[in-house]
Structure 1
């Protein structure tokens, strides 16, 4: 076991995955949203950095190869559970999240079943794009949670008609509600769009892995 810098970054990313959920246990919103966003973003960046460093420094190890996909999956799965819970099980988030979670479990099961032949399920460029889309979507949705909290807090108790007049520009916008509303629209629709793109890419990569594994599945089964 070699504790290289890339491996240390991978382990830190793995530890950061549950930390995203812990933010909502120890901090009130919107601070929890901001801290979760910061932790998730920094951890996601290490996914790109540790791979670059490992290749540049010739420090690719079996430990890193094993932990790297586990850390990525843990980050995505835990973050999606948090976002789904705080979204009130919104169908626009729940459906692509379900697809993503199902695929991750399914492919992990395939790799475990294939054992020594799991090398046929190598990470493809499409799978890397899938992971990138997932992480960007999750970061945007965490930002949406923070903006939504500010918008709700500053408009609390405000008459609906007055709120609409402020957004329409007919009343003075003392609290910057128009900018917050714009930020909410961008982060909500942008996050949802990216999450659905990630869901589609997830399906495509899952099908690709199943297609590659199918010949091995037909040759005979492993004991259960």
Structure 2
């Protein structure tokens, strides 16, 4: 005798809009939001707001994966959106920082390496199609993402401090003093912090982004090495 499950007693499909997936979508939306800060706010407020938004989004990168595993809510949608959100955050933030930093060559070189790797690996995954599963995220790749986001957050902080420092050097002008007061940078303690700490923070951020670029290239080479057997032409 064949037993049939009673109607409505079978396993229910998991909702797409789980908390982990919502966090991932919010992180994806935060990526262009970082650039939008510079359209609607004056500096240094744009720097501070971009830093806060980027930092909050980066934190969700940990929590969405952790919660998905802890609550057994891993989904195909989340697996697809998570790396896209990470790459969007890093690429857009680097473009903004590079543009507002005066095209510092010490930033352009590692930023170029990071962008090249991300585009290359994305194209590699697309080419491999259903075999792209062999390019699973490694622990080193996770450290790479952490290094990238930490470096970018530090660089946003340095940009805000540098802007305050440059404005403070011109405070002898009465009109500028009023402008500084309006944006909240006339406080001596803030100006002193910017003057003495801005360069140190920027150099620290540059060191971190070079480390991130090195990890990025290493993981890119690892993915390429793993994909080589699938890139060879088969004899006709």
TM-score > 0.5, shorter chain as reference: yes
Matches within 5 A, 1:1-224: 2-156=16-170, 175-176=188-189, 177-220=191-234
Q: CA deviation at 1:178?
A: 4.3
CA RMSD, aligned part only?
Answer: 1.5
SS state of the match for residue 218, structure 1?
coil
Aligned equivalents of 1:122, 1:197: Cα separation in 2? 22
Q: CA deviation at 1:89?
A: 1.1
SS state of the match for residue 84, structure 1?
helix
Residues 149 and 61 (structure 1), Cα distance of their counterparts in 2 relative to 1, 3 Å cut = same
The TM-score with structure 2 as length reference comes to 0.84
Q: CA deviation at 1:27?
A: 0.4
Q: Which runs of 5+ in 2 are unaligned?
A: 1-14, 173-186
* Cα pair 1:154 1:175 within 8 Å, conserved: no
Aligned length: 206
SS state of the match for residue 188, structure 2?
coil
Aligned equivalents of 2:171, 2:23: Cα separation in 1? 46
CA distances 1:92-143 after superposition (whole Å, capped 9, x unpaired): 1100000000000000000000001001100001100100000000000000
* Cα pair 2:24 2:61 within 8 Å, conserved: yes
